[in-house]
Amino acid sequence: QVQFVESGGGSVQPGGSLRLSCAGSGIIFRRYAMGWYRQAPGKQRDLVARININGLTTYADSVKDRFTISRGNANDAMYLQMNSLKPEDTAVYYCNAYPSIWQYWGQGTQVTVSS
């Protein structure tokens, strides 16, 4: 099976920044809209950012103006630039197609924002 692989998470203080990376199938990156998802303990996994095949991006209200989703110019990677991080951003972050492909969920990367 093929899974997306997320990296770049870590522990930062409020107001800090992180840049997450996603590696996976180039075919999927080119054919489907892609999204970044996050899941905090005890909460549902939610879509926080999406980029369609034409480059149009959308964001959840909770991250709008702070997060930026982008696709690599070779369409073999995807990124999430996270600025002005807040404690409520603490979660495991995942990348996947949108709509998601269940077989390709990876392990995610932990983002912890605390003082």
What pLDDT digit, counting tens, does each position of 23-71 carry?
987 777 778 899 999 999 999 999 999 999 899 999 999 999 999 999 9
Question: Around Cβ 68, how many Cβ atoms within 10 Å?
Answer: 16
Query: What share of the chain has pLDDT > 90, as a percent?
Result: 81
Question: Regarding predicted confidence, which is higher, 15 or 103?
Answer: 15
pLDDT of residue 74: 78
How far apart (Å, rounded) are the C-alpha atoms in residues 99 and 115? 35
Task: Tell me the pLDDT band of 111, cut-offs 50, 70 and 90.
Answer: very high
Q: In the predicted model, what is the mean pLDDT of residues 81-87? A: 98
How far apart (Å, rounded) are the C-alpha atoms in residues 48 and 20? 13
SS (H, E, C) 70-115: EECCCCCEEEEEECCCCHHHCEEEEEEEECCCHHHCCCCEEEEECC
